[in-house]
């Protein structure tokens, strides 16, 4: 049986994951996080050695939630052609299901670019996990080609999300359509 302390810690992580997903990283310091869930920053430090450990747990929970959403809509089997996977992911982008996760991911990447921890190491870990997720769904026999295509899909999708607010999303949609066309031309359809 799990201890009460572990259950409390898990509940805190779940509540903060929901909060951070909804509000972003702008209020991700200890006091605002504690206030958001009705506790004190001292109580957060009771469960976590420092802010970095807290954010690692919270953002790990968010990444796990995104993986669950993706798995539910795009199962690992059967492996599919890159254009098919791209189309499946475009549907998720269009219906807005991924938007909160990807907006948070963009914030993490910006903080990582500035060298802020834990975001720099988290971006590496989370990015590698999603690269594996995409690569494992691609029906491409050559491992190097599969890895390169997974990178191309990730970069294009991330770019489309980042440029979503620009020109009512036309640039992102245009990039996704161009990628689809290139993949079809190269026989990855």
pLDDT tens for each residue of 1-15: 344 556 589 999 999
**pTM score, whole prediction:** 0.85
- Position 2 scores a pLDDT of 45
Q: Which residue has the tokens 């994951």?
A: 17
105, 116 contact by CB (below 8 A): no
What is the average pLDDT score of the chain?
90
* pLDDT band, very low/low/confident/very high, at 187 (cuts 50, 70, 90): confident
DSSP-based three-state secondary structure for 138: strand
Higher pLDDT, 23 or 162: 23
The pLDDT tens digits for 124-174 are 999 999 999 999 999 999 999 999 999 999 999 888 888 777 777 788 888
Q: Is the pLDDT of residue 48 over 60?
A: yes
Q: How deeply is 43 buried, as exposed, middle or buried, from its count of CB atoms within 10 A (0-12, 13-18, 19+)? A: middle
* pLDDT band, very low/low/confident/very high, at 94 (cuts 50, 70, 90): confident
Q: Is the dihedral of CA 149, 150, 151, 153 positive or negative?
A: positive
Mean pLDDT in residue range 18-41: 91
* pLDDT band, very low/low/confident/very high, at 52 (cuts 50, 70, 90): very high
Share of the chain above pLDDT 90, in %: 67
Q: Name residues whose C-beta falls within 8 Å of residue 126's C-beta, 6 or more positions apart in sequence.
A: 59, 63, 105, 108
Mean pLDDT in residue range 81-108: 90
Cα distance between residue 179 and residue 187, in whole Å: 12
CATH architecture of 1-58: Orthogonal Bundle (1.10)
Segment holding 41, helix H or strand E: helix 41-47
- Position 189 scores a pLDDT of 66
Q: How deeply is 126 buried, as exposed, middle or buried, from its count of CB atoms within 10 A (0-12, 13-18, 19+)? A: buried
* Phi then psi dihedrals of residue 138, to 5 deg: -90, 135
Q: Which of 76, 81, 70, 88 is nearest to 176 (CA)?
A: 88
Domain with CATH 1.10.10.60 in the chain: 1-58
Mean pLDDT in residue range 70-94: 93
């Amino acid at each position: 049986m799990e201890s009460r302390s572990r259950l409390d810690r898990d509940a805190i992580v779940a509540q903060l994951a929901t909060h951070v997903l909804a509000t972003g990283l702008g209020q991700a310091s200890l006091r605002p996080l504690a206030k958001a869930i009705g506790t004190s920053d001292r109580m957060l430090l009771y469960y976590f050695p420092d802010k970095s450990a807290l954010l690692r747990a919270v953002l790990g929970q968010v990444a796990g939630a995104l993986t669950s959403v993706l798995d539910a809509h795009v199962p690992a089997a059967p492996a599919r052609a890159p254009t098919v996977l791209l189309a499946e992911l475009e549907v998720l982008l269009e219906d807005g299901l991924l938007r909160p996760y990807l907006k948070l991911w963009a914030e993490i990447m910006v903080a990582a670019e500035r060298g802020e921890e834990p975001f720099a190491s988290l971006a590496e870990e989370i990015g590698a996990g999603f690269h594996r997720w995409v690569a494992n769904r691609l029906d491409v026999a050559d491992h190097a080609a599969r890895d390169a295509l997974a990178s191309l899909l990730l970069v294009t999708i991330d770019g489309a999300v980042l440029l979503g607010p620009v020109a009512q999303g036309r640039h992102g949609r245009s990039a996704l359509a161009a990628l689809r066309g290139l993949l079809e031309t190269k026989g990855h359809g």
